[in-house]
């Protein structure tokens, strides 16, 4: 008999931008239609689904949840610990859940902490520094080479990334850091920009995680992106396309796949996740970040790879759910 699944999530339509907030403030949250599709797909697999909602809704219901397991898609709101809110509450109440635990979600949302772990585990990642203000630039730039890219330290969904994020000299860097820190009230990650190609890899599993088919990013009909990169504006534009299988050599495919699994294991992801890459002109892959709460929209990695594998989206979700159920021994 199929299990009863509780679904935790954050929906964009539940929030309105306040005056002075950046337009991408709620970029990480799912549109309602994405959650509706997840629910419908799980029901098609035979599961009973109970919509729990966000962390505040969970707190109201946590003492009386008639579920076998929770499928956590909630991003949370507030600090760099926001993705850890739902898992921690579930753990405190002894409720099983699909997805990574609070520690993994916290350290991967913070790109700088994640990169420190990658380095310690031998996972290639671009060289970087953290800056809290433009005034810190001169005394921290010794080991970095332009061009650089400026990113928010603990945000996803390309928040804070537009064409100006890539900087070619010290003046551009100073202006960009000042702008982003003042707009988002958050320190920034400054890393060497990798000119070349871009890829993303979905992964499912625990002890022996499985890499799904690699997806290549195409922008403006170009696969060799060079100075182009994934931005917030391109997420919903027709200039961005995902190509799967990628147009790369078998050797590079294997290097990216192995690196993705190594990154996944290094931060102890559970059940499913996604690893994002840039590959330089010499064929060297670099992990940009890992996302244990990847998008499950019809346009994103997991749906694309499902089609390539000859699976339906419900079958892909069932594979993720079954992976988590087996981890708890309740499949």
Task: Name the H helices within 185-267.
Answer: 250-266
List Cβ neighbours of 134 (8 Å cut-off, separation of 6 or more): 174, 175, 177, 178, 181
Q: How high does pLDDT run on average in the chain?
A: 92
Average pLDDT over residues 193-206: 97
Q: Which of 100, 106, 69, 62 is nearest to 84 (CA)?
A: 106
pLDDT exceeds 60 at position 232: no
Q: What are 314's two structure tokens?
A: 């419900």
Query: Residue 271, SS3?
Result: strand
pLDDT digits (tens, 9 = 90+) for 301-322: 899 999 999 999 999 999 999 9
pLDDT digits (tens, 9 = 90+) for 17-51: 677 677 766 677 778 999 999 999 999 999 999 99
Q: Distance between CA 222 and CA 330 in Å, rounded?
A: 46
Above pLDDT 90, what percent of the chain?
Answer: 77
Average pLDDT over residues 78-90: 92
Q: Distance between CA 188 and CA 177 in Å, rounded?
A: 7
Which DSSP category does 213 fall into?
P
pTM for this model (two decimals): 0.93
pLDDT exceeds 70 at position 273: yes
pLDDT of residue 24: 63
Going by pLDDT thresholds of 50, 70 and 90, the confidence category of residue 230 is confident
Residue-wise burial string across 11-20, b where 16 or more C-beta atoms lie within 10 A, e elsewhere: beeeeeeeee
Going by pLDDT thresholds of 50, 70 and 90, the confidence category of residue 233 is low
């Amino acid at each position: 008999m199929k299990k009863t699944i509780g679904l935790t999530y954050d929906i964009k339509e539940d929030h309105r931008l306040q005056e002075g907030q950046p337009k991408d403030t709620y970029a990480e949250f799912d549109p309602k239609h994405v959650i509706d599709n997840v629910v419908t797909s799980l029901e098609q697999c035979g599961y009973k689904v109970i919509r729990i909602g966000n962390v505040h809704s969970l707190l109201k219901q946590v003492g009386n949840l008639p579920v076998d397991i929770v499928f956590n898609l909630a991003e949370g709101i507030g600090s760099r610990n926001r993705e850890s809110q739902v898992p921690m509450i579930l753990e405190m109440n002894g409720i099983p859940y699909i997805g990574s635990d609070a520690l993994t979600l916290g350290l991967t949302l913070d790109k700088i902490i994640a990169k420190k772990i990658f380095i310690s585990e031998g996972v290639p990642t671009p060289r970087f520094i953290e800056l809290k203000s433009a005034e810190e630039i001169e005394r921290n730039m010794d080991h970095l080479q332009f061009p650089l890219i400026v990113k928010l330290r603990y945000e996803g969904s390309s928040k804070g990334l537009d064409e100006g994020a890539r900087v070619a000299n010290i003046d551009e860097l100073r202006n960009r850091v000042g702008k982003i820190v003042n707009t988002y009230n958050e320190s920034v990650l400054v890393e060497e920009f990798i000119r070349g190609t871009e890829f993303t890899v979905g992964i499912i599993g625990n002890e022996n995680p499985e890499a799904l088919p690699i997806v290549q990013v195409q922008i403006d009909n170009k696969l060799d992106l060079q100075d182009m990169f994934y931005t917030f504006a391109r997420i919903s534009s027709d200039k961005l396309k995902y190509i799967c299988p990628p147009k790369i050599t078998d050797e590079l495919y294997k290097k990216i796949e192995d690196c993705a699994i190594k990154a996944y294991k290094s931060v102890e992801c559970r059940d499913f996740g996604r690893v994002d890459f840039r590959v330089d002109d010499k064929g060297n892959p670099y992990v940009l970040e890992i996302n244990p709460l990847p998008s499950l929209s019809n346009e994103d990695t997991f749906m694309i790879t499902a089609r390539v594998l000859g699976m339906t989206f419900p079958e892909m979700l069932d594979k993720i759910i079954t992976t988590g159920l087996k981890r708890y021994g309740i499949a």
